[in-house]
Chains A and B, each alone.
Chain A
């Protein structure tokens, strides 16, 4: 009898484990890790460098994706609006330049200079940061709340807004709403969204 019981218990466990979706990367509420990555200007950048920051807008992004292009001016505007209020933008390019030559370090440098980025555009050479965060596509945003110097809490994961095609007809500004809530110490209204995007070009995949 006991054998049968334990058999069912094991079978149930196997079923539960097998049906659990593969969860990798951060979920809302998790603590995010800091990173130290090379910026387009050669400088090494970490979030900890921003002593007075209250939080961060971390965006996995690239040169080549048409969605990244469509959002470029909106990302620049986010930093202009929120960096001075304590929420700087940091962008990270995780694409393997062997698979996507337009995302090489040289091309990143050109793009950052041409578009006058006044925020870091970092290269995630090992793709470890993108993997740890669980980024899947570009642009993919993580809004972090700096609870303390040791704790960066993920409060929003997803898209910048609800309209990739046209910035003027956006009805839901997810990232701005998240930061607005943080500034007023309120709960972030929408914590997770999905959007169409280009898949990250993973090495050897």
Chain B
């Protein structure tokens, strides 16, 4: 009985540790995400826990995600490229209380997949892809966004 309680407690505590987890995805999943048709606008932001300019611009994405029903925000972490352990990402999501959907890109050899997001991307982050799923218009930017930039990009694909 005692073992059972301890096990139960352990399971619950582990569960609560990862209250906000992030799904691992492949590049094909992201391509499907921006290739599907829907009435919405998909925003893909590439970031990592080690990237200071990425963390600085995150609130802009959180804001859009919270205020606009017509926009789906996906924050794609590329932390795994450098560190096989995703715990840092989970802890970051908890600490910052991120509400947008977070994905962890599970790919190796970036040279094989960077062009599949956008040919103009050098591979530096932050980088953001905005796709209007209604008309297929897309806009890719490789820089840190400042207040107002994201709205401007979203308007440009309308």
Q: Please tell me which stretch of B5-13, B37-45, B113-121 contacts chain A, meaning at least 4 of its Cβ atoms lie within 8 angstroms of it.
A: B113-121
The contact of A165 among B83, B122, B142, by CB within 8 Å, is: B83
Task: Give, as a whole number of angstroms, the nearest-CB distance from A134 to chain B.
Answer: 9
Chain A residues with Cβ below 8 Å from B110 are 159, 164, 194-196
What's the Cα separation between A175 and B125 when bound, in Å?
23
Query: Could you tell me which residues of chain A, from 149 to 205, have a CB within 8 Å of some CB in chain B?
Result: 158-159, 162-165, 172, 193-200, 205
Known A194-B115, A196-B81, A199-B53: A21·B123 in contact at CB below 8 Å: no
Q: Which of B120, B125, B143, B144 contacts A196 (CB 8 A)?
A: B125
- Which residue of B51, B53, B123, B126 contacts A195 across the interface (Cβ within 8 Å)? B123
Q: Decide if A67 is an interface residue (CB 8 Å cutoff).
A: yes
| B104 is an interface residue with CB less than 8 A from chain A | no
Is A29 an interface residue when CB atoms closer than 8 A count as contact? no
Closest to A205 in B: B143
Binary CB contact string for chain A from 128 to 158 against chain B (1 if under 8 A, 0 otherwise)? 0000000011000000000000000000001
Chain B residues with CB under 8 Å of A164's CB are: 81-82, 110
Residues of A contacting B111 in the complex (Cβ-Cβ under 8 angstroms): 158-159, 162, 193-195
Does A199 contact B142, Cβ atoms closer than 8 Å?
A: yes
Interface string of B21-58 (1 = CB under 8 A from A): 00000000000000000000000000000110100000
A199 with B126, Cβ < 8 A, contacts A194-B110, A194-B111, A194-B121 known:
yes
The residue on B at minimum CB distance from A202 is B143
Q: How large is the interface on B (under 10, 10 to 19, 20 to 34, 35 or more residues)?
A: 20 to 34
Residue of B nearest to A70 (CB): B82
In the assembled complex, how far is the CB of residue A63 from the closest CB belonging to chain B, in whole angstroms?
Answer: 13
Contacts of A104-133 to chain B: CB distance below 8 A:
none
Within A53-73, the residues touching B (CB, 8 Å) are 66-67, 70
Separation of A70 and B82 alpha carbons in the complex (Å):
8
In chain A, what residue has the closest Cβ to B120? Answer: A21
Assuming the A-B contacts A66-B50, A162-B111, are A197 and B82 also in contact, with contact meaning beta carbons closer than 8 angstroms in the complex? no
Q: Which of B110, B114, B119, B121 has the most CB of A within 10 A?
A: B110
The complex places the Cα of A70 from the Cα of B108 at a distance, in Å, of 15
6 new A-B contacts at CB < 8 Å, known A163-B108, A165-B84, A199-B124: A66-B50, A137-B122, A194-B114, A196-B82, A197-B123, A199-B144
- Which residues in A have some Cβ–Cβ distance to B below 8 Å? 21, 66-67, 70, 136-137, 158-159, 162-165, 172, 193-200, 205
**A-B pairs with the 6 shortest C-beta distances?**
A199-B124, A137-B124, A136-B122, A194-B114, A193-B111, A194-B123
Q: List 26 A-B contacts (CB under 8 A).
A: A21-B120, A66-B50, A66-B82, A137-B122, A137-B124, A163-B108, A163-B109, A164-B82, A164-B110, A165-B83, A193-B111, A194-B110, A194-B122, A194-B123, A195-B110, A195-B114, A196-B78, A196-B81, A196-B82, A196-B125, A197-B123, A198-B124, A199-B124, A199-B125, A199-B126, A199-B143
